[in-house]
Amino acid sequence: MPKLKDTPKVDRPRERFLKKGSDALSKSELLAVLLSSGIKGKNVKKISEQIIRKFRDKFLDLTVEDLLGISGIGEAKALQIVSSIALTKRFYDEKNPRENLVLSAKDAIFLNSDLKEKKKEYLVCLYLNARNVLLKKEIVSIGTLDKGIVHPREIFAPALELRSAGIILVHNHPSGDPSPSRQDKEVFDRIIEAGKIIGVNVIDFIIIAGNETYSFFGSLQREDKDELYISNGIQHSLFDLLMDKKLEYESEQQKTKSIRIIDLFAGIGGIKIGFERAGFECVFSNDFDESCKVTYDFNFARKQKSLICADIAEVSSNLIPDFEVLTGGFPCQPFSIAGYRKGFSDEGRGDLFFEIIRILKDKKPTAFLLENVKNLKTHNEGKTLRVIYRELQNLGYHIGSKVLNTMEYGNIPQNRERIYIIGFLDQEVFNRFSFPEKIKLTKTIHDCLESDADEKYYYNDKPLYEKFKKEITKKNTVYQWRRKYIRENKNGVCPTLTANMGTGGHNVPLVLNKKGIRKLTPRECANFQGFPKNFKMPNIADSALYKQFGNSVSVPVIERIAVNIKKALTD
């Protein structure tokens, strides 16, 4: 058979392409240009014609295996043809994206927008090819997600049938909270491990909750990376991303080992929030109040351990994990001016300080921070504080204390003075610690108030309103109603939030505006304690929420102290 080089130049495919363009060549001639050379006894043009004739309209779906069946086509030439087809398809798809191309979490959510309104929990699987084109969408299960119910074979059997390169799992939370639950994480772990073994990429696990969503893939991406499922032609895998993240975490842990705290008399987690903002890790929280547990778990249980609701006297030190810093706002009522001031003799409250001593003795942490009312400093002519110092020093701690006011140290417009007692086992570390300096108050009461408080917080007694209005000259100011009289704070600072908020109206700070007089809302009380905006209110009585925030700490003050503790421990 004559060779292509024996053909006159004017008739050769390559020369005609250069002279007249691609339109002057047939399909087989274009393929011949790509292959470049034939084999002994068969020139490249004949091989190209054979391929085109055999596969015709299936040419764009050619595989290496298909081409290896053609005489004269080896692995190198087969790869050359298939790669050229794949490259052309890739550019075409990017220029003319298909409706079923899933390139990001946004695309996957759009394909499952109906899940927003579902009253039951659904688990849906999107099966994709290597270019992230949707091959099939299938409901895997209906009902509460559980690793005992959702088996990997139900997910991966269709993937193998479809020759799917990757899958995306989409789950809905009718509760409205997109945070992954413990069951979600257990199912997620099993599926990505199974996918790695089978050879099918688990690309993402998305949770849809109303208009909010959570993407495991997105949570693992660095801020400087695009949240696309495919880049440089490579389909991402959650398993690989998790391994990368684990290596990053372990490397970071070697540089800076996290400092663990326990939070005793935790309430709703004010101290925990402050310390975690400063970079500490909370490993144990305890309080005996069941309503506090409701609020605490509502905010933290999905991401961390739940609050242990029990009398601290009944909690063995052996049940408490190892830690470096003990924190606790032990009961203040026995030492408060507002209480009976029984001190340590107040059984079940005043004597709980000695449970702190027990745990410090058993666990010997590096440091501690205790919080209480300002009056602890002068209670029983100072004898109470001397007993506290003596007990702590007997354990080998170096002690210091200071009274800090929220408006001076937390930039929150609330007049709240509390004593903070700090202790370190190491003298040098203690010498490095200092309480934070005063800062200028820049926030005002108005920064903490809501503009659209519910009508239920207003007092509708018109004579009472008129009486208050005459006594108050400033508008839109916060007041505190104490035993039948109104006291205005001339400095624009909220009076101290008390634990009695909501009980019969006494000690409830009041707001006067054009609509009338009202008490603070629970959200406003959270604002006056410096709780983050995303701190959630469970569906419990307002009186319980008032008491919880009244008994809590001012988070910004705790955070500033915690920053200085960490600096002393790590410098």
Interatomic CA distance for residues 234 and 105, integer angstroms: 17
What pLDDT is stored for residue 498 in this prediction?
53
* pLDDT for the residue numbered 138: 92
Q: Quick one: which of 377, 360, 404 has its CA closest to 564?
A: 404
pTM of the model: 0.54
* Residue 263, strand partner residues: 285, 327
Phi and psi at residue 325, to the nearest 5°: -130, 130
Q: How far apart are CA 219 and CA 185, in angstroms?
A: 13
Neighbouring C-alpha atoms within 13 Å toward the C-beta of 143? 6
What mean pLDDT do residues 270-278 have?
A: 95
pLDDT of residue 336: 45
Task: Provide the pLDDT for residue 475.
Answer: 44
**CB of 85 closer than 8 Å to CB of 62:** yes
How far is it, in rounded angstroms, from Cα 528 to Cα 413?
7
What would the pLDDT profile of 31-48 be if each residue is shown by its tens digit?
A: 888 887 766 667 778 888
Q: Which two tokens stand for residue 559?
A: 């955070």
Cα 270 from Cα 299, distance rounded (Å): 12
pLDDT exceeds 70 at position 183: yes
The mean-pLDDT minimum among 298-307, 334-343, 357-366 falls in 334-343
CA–CA distance, 273 with 567 (Å, rounded to integer): 18
Residue 123: closest CA among 190, 191, 169: 169
List, by residue number, the catalytic residues.
332
Confidence of residue 487 (pLDDT cuts 50, 70, 90): very low
Asked if 402 contacts 436 with a C-beta cutoff of 8 angstroms, the reply is no
Please give the full DSSP string across 443-461, using - where no structure is assigned.
--HHHHS-SS--GGGEE--
